[in-house]
Amino acid sequence: LGVIEGQVVWAVQNEMALNVEDFLARRTRCQLLDAKESVRMAPRVAEIMASELGKDSEWQAKQVEDYKRVTSNYII
């Protein structure tokens, strides 16, 4: 989908992105463009966001779990 790690950092630092769904669904539209690929990307996005936001591994796991649950509705 052409998303690079720097976009995640930018979204957190400059656009107030606070969770994985916000980034993948609204900031980049990945959820709508390719739901399966966005689910594959979610753990790395969560890892980068956690680093930027000072969150722990539990936050990361919950973000990925929540994103998978919501995005399952977009997978055909």
Strand residues in 1-76 grouped as ranges (E): none
64 in helix, strand or coil? helix
Which range of residues forms the domain containing residue 31? 5-74
Prediction pTM value: 0.93
CATH of the domain at 12: 1.10.8.870
pLDDT band at 36 (very low <50, low <70, confident <90, very high): very high
Q: What Cα–Cα distance (Å) separates residue 71 from each residue in 13, 54, 58, 63, 66? A: 25, 25, 20, 12, 9
R_g of the chain computed on alpha carbons: 11
pLDDT of residue 55: 98
Work out the percent of the chain whose per-residue pLDDT is above 70: 100
**How many domains would you assign to the chain?**
1
